[in-house]
Amino acid sequence: MDHDVNGRLLDRPAIEPPESFVAQANVSDPDVRAAFEREWPDCWAQAGRLLDWERPYDETLAGGAAEPPFEWFAGGRLNASHNCVDRHVDERKNQVAVQWEGRLGETRTYTYLDLYREVNEFAAALRSLGVAAGDVVTLYMPMIPELPVAMLACARLGAVHNVVFAGFSAEALANRMGRAESRFLVTCDGYYRRGAATNQKNKADNARIGLDHEVEATVVVSRLGDETHLGDRQYGYVDLLAAHEGDRVDPVARRAADPLFLIYTSGTTGAPKAVTHTTGGYLAHVAWTARAVLDIKPEDTYWCSADIGWITGHSYVVYGPLALGTTTVLYEGTADHPERDRVWQIIERNAVDVFYTAPTAIRAFMKWGSEYPARNDLSSLRLLGTVGEPINPRVWEWYYTHIGGERCPVVDTWWQTETGAIMVSTLPGADAMKPGSAGMALPGIGARVVDGDGRPTPPGEPGYLVLDRPWPGMPTALATGEGWADSHPWRSADGWQYVAGDEATVDEDGYVTVLGRVDDVINVAGRRFSTMELESSIVEVAGVAEAAVIGGDDRSTGRAVYAYVSPERDCPGDDDLRARIEARVREAIGPMATPEAVVFTPELPKTRSGKIMRRLLEDIANDEPLGDTSALRNPEILGEIESVVREEP
């Protein structure tokens, strides 16, 4: 079997979506991209129409497409909480809005009416504590229903939420609250992690000490149910709801460009950056992609397994599905507790229609073995999605076969915290799939692959992935043109462009294959190898579950490929496996790419959002002090890897 430069198998045909899927898809018109082109930018009114506007917008895009400022849905006013909650109550008040699956097996069900009541009561409570439109409210909670309730309560008041991932430290919380000058905090007493209770309130209290400004009010949700000491200006969530029982708060109409929330990037390559998303453009883009790409219907049960602390959780656990009035599943636990079929149990129990997860999770499922999904009835599934990293073709095939039963299309969705919503993906009801390739730019999205001079690269040649037209979900800094000028790569050779920082190729059909972050590309004696290309060939070797490659120092070539490999369960990391890996890379890519060293490790170092941290592996290989490890989920693995590397001859 041969690979093209994308690590895609050349002899594998493109896979057409099943007719049964196409027949029911929200979007199945093969002409949809051309139709969007003809009408651009007014085509995006299709997204605007998915929302209720308190005041209709005058122009889809004001200011033209040539350079910032760009203003989407100019003149329009709306409220996100009204769009995600109130308007569904009339039609389907008893439909489940949020289905919560707790860590200890407990469940909670919020209908749209339940959600409406609690969002209103909590908005009333926040208002009584002094929260007003434009204030930044920090939310520091695990995956519990009070988190989306608090987000929607903020949105109702026109306040800007700032969700900080619950697993972050007190210092990280203080940093994110400090930078946003956030004077309000909603947190919880604690929560269970790997069977043990963690003290979240303690971390929140410590963060407050590290702040330069006063926190006006802290609300504490009781997750553990123990008695919590509430200090000065600290309030219990349940007490507040009781005090505001039956209260209603009119949604505050916001301008389309007003901020809905801020969020920090995950920081695989640098310091986390604050990104602000707008109310109108963001919500329209998220709703449209949830409908066209994730094919969400109001009657569906939909599950995105991302943590709400990341952009994927904001856009596709909370805002997208709720804007469309569907049932969104919220899962507090981990995929392997109490058993490795927990995810499949939840899908069976809730008859989940659409499942959206990350390659890192799929690689873990694959490593554990297909007997776990096989134990459960997954026939309710109609569509599968992935996001967050390139997905190796072999992993794609596994997902398609063992989870989707070769019946469900897989959408490989490329986007970023900065883009707010999906940008590149197949439309599952209209496009053929090519495993390992995300697909074409979505209708109305301008995505290109260019060389260092901004010229489009020929098919199959790697280059920089750039977005050369404004899009509705663009963040405030890009829309106004007032942010990131120093910290972000910009190129203006050919008009306005946003350089995404990813390396990619595009094929004759316009399918984009993302190779990885530009910083992750390895240069061996002048030849550039993508981490995706190399890792895909290694993952194809029987017995390999996951691989990460990096560029290490080498005496002769200057730079050499180092491979870190996590074998499948039951497969020893021995010389035989090493030899097969080397042979495969030589054959698939070339002798120059043959790894200088193959290091076996039970796990790869990953960020808390599941991305492989190649930067740290590089530090180990080059015998340099480890860089910032604060974003790591499994820091203990570094010591293990270091000790193995030192033993290498």
Q: Measured from the CB of residue 472, what is the shortest distance to ligand WTA in angstroms?
A: 16
Query: Which 67-126 positions form the footprint of ligand WTA (CB under 6 A)?
Result: none
Q: From edge to edge, which strands make up the β-sheet containing 512-517?
A: 447-450, 463-467, 498-506, 512-517
CB atoms within 10 A of CB 486: 6
Please provide the distance, in angstroms rounded to a whole number, between the alpha carbons at the two ends of the chain.
Answer: 33
Q: Are 522 and 561 in contact (CB under 8 A)?
A: yes
β pairing state of 234-236 and 254-255: unpaired
Nearer to ligand WTA, 251 or 516 (CB): 516
d(CA 204, CA 187): 7
Give the closest residue to 428 by CA, choosing from 439, 437, 418.
Answer: 439
Residue at token pair 């890379």:
585
318 binds ligand WTA (CB under 6 A): no
Considering only 302, 319, 396, 415, the residue that binds ligand WTA (CB under 6 A) is 415
Query: Which 255-284 positions form the footprint of ligand WTA (CB under 6 A)?
Result: 265-266
Nearer to ligand WTA, 203 or 611 (CB): 611
308 binds ligand WTA (CB under 6 A): no
Residue 588 amino acid letter? A
Q: Which stretch binds ligand WTA (CB under 6 A): 82-90, 106-114, 307-315, 476-484?
A: 307-315
d(CA 27, CA 443): 11
Considering only 312, 476, 536, 537, the residue that binds ligand WTA (CB under 6 A) is 312
Q: Which stretch binds ligand WTA (CB under 6 A): 10-18, 72-80, 406-414, 555-563?
A: 406-414
Residue at token pair 């203990």:
636
- What's the gap between Cα 372 and its chain centre? 25
Main-chain phi, psi angles of 125, to 5 degrees:
-65, -45
d(CA 150, CA 354): 25
The contact pattern for ligand WTA, residues 328-367, with x = CB under 6 A and - = no contact, is ----------------------------------------
Nearer to ligand WTA, 123 or 447 (CB): 447
234 binds ligand WTA (CB under 6 A): no
Complete DSSP assignment for 465-490: EEE-S--TT--HHHHHS-S-TTTS--
Considering only 17, 148, 333, 388, the residue that binds ligand WTA (CB under 6 A) is 388
Residue at token pair 């692959």:
449
Nearer to ligand WTA, 184 or 511 (CB): 511
Number of residues that bind ligand WTA (CB under 6 A): 22
Q: Are 470 and 278 in contact (CB under 8 A)?
A: no
Considering only 175, 413, 531, 601, the residue that binds ligand WTA (CB under 6 A) is 413
Q: Measured from the CB of residue 415, what is the shortest distance to ligand WTA in angstroms?
A: 5
Give the closest residue to 280 by CA, choosing from 85, 443, 473, 42.
Answer: 473
Nearer to ligand WTA, 159 or 445 (CB): 445
Considering only 390, 446, 470, 573, the residue that binds ligand WTA (CB under 6 A) is 390
Task: Return the structure tokens found at 1.
Answer: 């079997």
d(CA 333, CA 54): 38
Nearer to ligand WTA, 96 or 438 (CB): 438
Nearer to ligand WTA, 81 or 312 (CB): 312
Query: Which 591-620 positions form the footprint of ligand WTA (CB under 6 A)?
Result: 609
Q: Measured from the CB of residue 617, what is the shortest distance to ligand WTA in angstroms?
A: 17
Query: Which 500-559 positions form the footprint of ligand WTA (CB under 6 A)?
Result: 500-502, 514, 517
Nearer to ligand WTA, 270 or 627 (CB): 270
Give the closest residue to 549 by CA, choosing from 571, 534, 536.
Answer: 534
Q: Which residues bind ligand WTA (CB under 6 A)?
A: 265-266, 310-312, 387-390, 412-417, 438, 500-502, 514, 517, 609
